[in-house]
A and B are shown apart, each in its own frame.
Chain A
Amino acid sequence: MTASSLPGGQSARLRRLRRDYFGSPLAVLMTLLSAAVIAWIGWFLLDWGVIRATFGADGTQETCVAHGGACWSVIAVRWRVILFGIYPYEEQWRSALACVVVGVVILLSCLPRMWSFGRLALVWVLGTVIFYTLMRGGVLGLVPVNEQQWGGLPLTLFIFVATGIIGMPLAIGLALLRRSEYPVIARVTGWIIDTIRSLPLLSILFTCAIVLPFMLPGFLIGEKLYRVLFGAALFFAAYQAEIIRGGFQGIPKGQEEAAKALGLTYWHRTFRIVLPQAFRLALPATINQFVIAFMETSLIVVVGFMELLAAGNTAFKTGEWKFAYAEVYVFIAAIYFAFVFGLSRYGAYLEARMNVGHRKD
């Protein structure tokens, strides 16, 4: 009892904990309710996903229903369909390798040491070329595989990478045009950006897939996949341009004026002084936008591509596995979650790192 009157120490922490958890009747109710819900969810997941679950490729509907829990057999049997879609079975090692390449590219661009236009551009372009060569084949003795047969995780990653690699330069261009000193150019670009931003991404993908062929001369039509990619990149660019513009607004006017006074040209001012600072300010929002872009790759299911989600849908839509939809979706969700959660945690880490030294209030 005497110890509890001393400030600090273990008992003070205990007292604070007691106040937070059981300080008032309302707090007690909240604590009990929340704890009960968390415990129930945890127990349900453990019970369903592990204790009563069926593992191994030999499980069938009967054995799974008899156990009463999750039926992971569907994953054990159909995982290659979920991950690689209808890519030729003997060639699926190329899909797997392509995924690793993209993973390496993403990891490399997360290292602060790589943050210069030249290095990032090199890594991403090189990564895309290797990915494309692996997937498409036709050279180096690889069997050619048509884009129509691409599917699963590699397709999802390809859309993500291509959206970034086309969308980012486009976004920089749009952002620069929008802050142009010529009012007509700035105004018109603003209208274009606002219009794209107020349209749903799905309608843009749909237009690119179905309507664009009418409007293009024959030699420009190309594969549906690339048209859809262009649409996704355009949408990404419209949002990213606004983020970069936010970054521009955070830079003191003196920076550009000083550069001008030193006699730097427009290109030098923009690419050496303004853009690097704008990107630094816009970094958290940019990573957030990449996270959203990753999640939105799944929308191309609607225009008929077999990316991860659609491949998962086909995995349980055969008669024998029809009951096991939850297991397949949990498996896909885990893949998405790993990517998205990792990226957004990284964004939060960067934000905290950047705030060191100039903390507000």
Chain B
Amino acid sequence: MTGPSFLRSRAFRRVTLQAGFVAGLLLLVLAATLTARTNLATQGLTSGFDFLWKSTGWEMNFSLLPTTTADPYWWYLLMGLMNTLFMGTLGLAGASVLGLVVGLMRSGRNPAARLLGTIYIEIFRNLPLILQLFFWYAMANALPAPRASIAFGGALINARGLYLPGLMVGPGTVALAVLSGLVGLGLAIWVLTARRFNRVEPRGQRRVALLAVLAGLIGAGVFVVLGHDPADAWVTLPALQGLKIDGGFRIQPEFYALAIAITTYGAAYVGEIVRGGFKSVGRGQMEAAAALGLSSWHIFTRVRLPLAFRAMLPILINQYVWLIKATTLGIAVGFSDFFMVIASSINHSGQTFEFIGILMAGFLLINFSLAAVLNRLNRAIALKGHQTTGSA
């Protein structure tokens, strides 16, 4: 060993290495920013967030609340974010329900049902999601023209979309009603999981949660009644008017193709997680329950499912975060999710860096809050004495 003694000192190495690492990263970011600034300056673009209040001048093909080309960028971004969340919620719910069914089929005793579940999972899990999406979208576009629409139960389907009977209320009203329902649901989850209510008797806790959900639903009903114009009929049915469909509530092919793709693909993964969860429940637990004289229904709902659910949840959290990210595939078929709004905004305004920043912030916010909520649930339901295997 040669050289001055301080080079060999641990404390010195400790400080220089860490400082060097951080300084190196900062330098990289600084260099990228400076290059970007000079490059943007030569193209005559200015940075800053003033553009958020400018009107966009292009149309958004799907939004939950009305948008016009005169709306500012921040409104478009908000609508894009809502679309992503809406699609994500639909996809997660659909994938969970279908996945539970497939997982149960796979872990049951009936060989025929098991085979069917296996076929489902192997097909949907081993093909890229975007391929499945393109397939559903091509199928939706290959449906007959509006004149030859296929009708079923008051609804119509054709190449232009799926037309469902609709309630005659404005989109603002629907948004308020949904918000009210969500607030009720959120309150219920809070009551059920918050540590503050740990010492409240479970029965009372459940009753309060049920009341919160009911209140949310009643609130939603009130909003719908208040928002309805008495001069209109309550329900509108889609019907053929000349060459196009009038009335009803149109769901675009882009929308339902993406919803079907995410649901079916997600269900294959959720199904495997469900099967793994059931597999992890010890045989002794079920035998003990049977020995206590519980009926097979009670063994399933009170012993097997709760234990399996606790084993599934940590893996499900990762899968849910993944599925939310998968909604960005909407850009491949033209569904205006958050990412597509960002991409079109970059094309039209040139404010590249600001939008990429917003995109990152948006997804970090969505994913971290989803993971935080689910991790909280995971901790709340964990059994005492068992290790909580939480992950982000």
Contact = CB atoms under 8 A, between A and B. Distances in A.
Contacts, number: 145
B130 A333 contact: no
Given A33-B113, A194-B392, A295-B129, 19 more contacts: A31-B110, A31-B113, A38-B112, A182-B18, A184-B22, A188-B22, A198-B325, A198-B363, A202-B328, A203-B363, A206-B343, A210-B352, A211-B356, A299-B329, A323-B142, A326-B139, A332-B131, A333-B135, A337-B126
A203 B361 CA distance: 12
A31 B112 contact: yes
Interface of B: 14, 17-18, 21-22, 25, 32-33, 35-36, 39-40, 105, 108-113, 115-116, 119, 122-123, 126-131, 134-135, 138-139, 142, 282, 321, 325-326, 328-329, 331-332, 339, 342-343, 346, 352-353, 356, 359-360, 363-364, 367-368, 392
Contact of B138 (A38, A41, A200, A325): A325
B352 A298 contact: no
Contact of A34 (B112, B123, B364): B112
24 contacts: A21-B110, A34-B116, A38-B115, A188-B25, A198-B325, A198-B368, A199-B325, A203-B356, A206-B339, A206-B343, A207-B356, A211-B352, A214-B353, A215-B36, A298-B131, A301-B130, A302-B331, A302-B332, A313-B134, A325-B138, A326-B138, A326-B139, A329-B138, A337-B123
Nearest to B109: A20
A182 B12 CA distance: 12
Given A296-B128, A309-B131, A326-B139, A198 B367 contact: yes
Interface in A73-119: none
A143 interface: no
A359 B124 CA distance: 30
Contacts of B128: 295-296, 298, 309, 336
Nearest to B296: A24
A199 B35 contact: no
Contacts of A44: none
A66 B162 CA distance: 29
A284 to B, nearest CB: 13
Nearest to A215: B32
B35 A341 contact: no
A341 B343 contact: no
- Classify the secondary structure of B's interface with A: helix
B160 to A, nearest CB: 17
Contacts of B36: 214-215
Given A203-B363, A301-B332, A34 B134 contact: no
A326 B137 CA distance: 11
A328 B286 CA distance: 48
Interface string A282-303: 0000000000000110110110
Contacts of B329: 202, 299
A21 B111 contact: yes
Contacts of A337: 123, 126-127
A203 B359 contact: yes
B138 A185 contact: no
B112 A202 contact: no
A354 interface: no
Nearest to A343: B126
B131 A184 contact: no
A322 B20 CA distance: 59
Most buried by A among B36, B105, B346: B36
A20 B367 CA distance: 43
A238 B128 CA distance: 20
Most buried by A among B110, B134, B392: B110
A30 B131 CA distance: 31
7 residue pairs, one from A and one from B, having the closest CB atoms: A34-B112, A200-B325, A198-B367, A215-B32, A295-B128, A325-B138, A184-B18
Contacts of B122: 341
A216 interface: yes
Contacts of B32: 215-216
- B115, B123, B134, B326: residue with the most chain A Cβ atoms closer than 10 Å: B134
Contact of A30 (B14, B110, B339): B110
B131 A329 contact: yes
A35 B112 contact: yes
B112 A309 contact: no
Given A195-B364, A313-B134, A202 B339 contact: yes
B138 A216 contact: no
Contact of A198 (B131, B321, B326): B321
A332 to B, nearest CB: 6
Contact of A210 (B25, B282, B325, B346): B346
B326 to A, nearest CB: 8
Interface in A172-210: 182-185, 188, 194-195, 198-203, 206-207, 210
Contacts of A14: none
Contacts of A270: none
Contacts of A264: none
Nearest to A202: B328
A217 B33 CA distance: 11
Contacts of B367: 198
A342 to B, nearest CB: 10
B222 to A, nearest CB: 38
A170 interface: no
A281 to B, nearest CB: 16
B113 A30 contact: yes
Contact of B21 (A185, A214, A329): A185
Contacts of A298: 128, 130-131
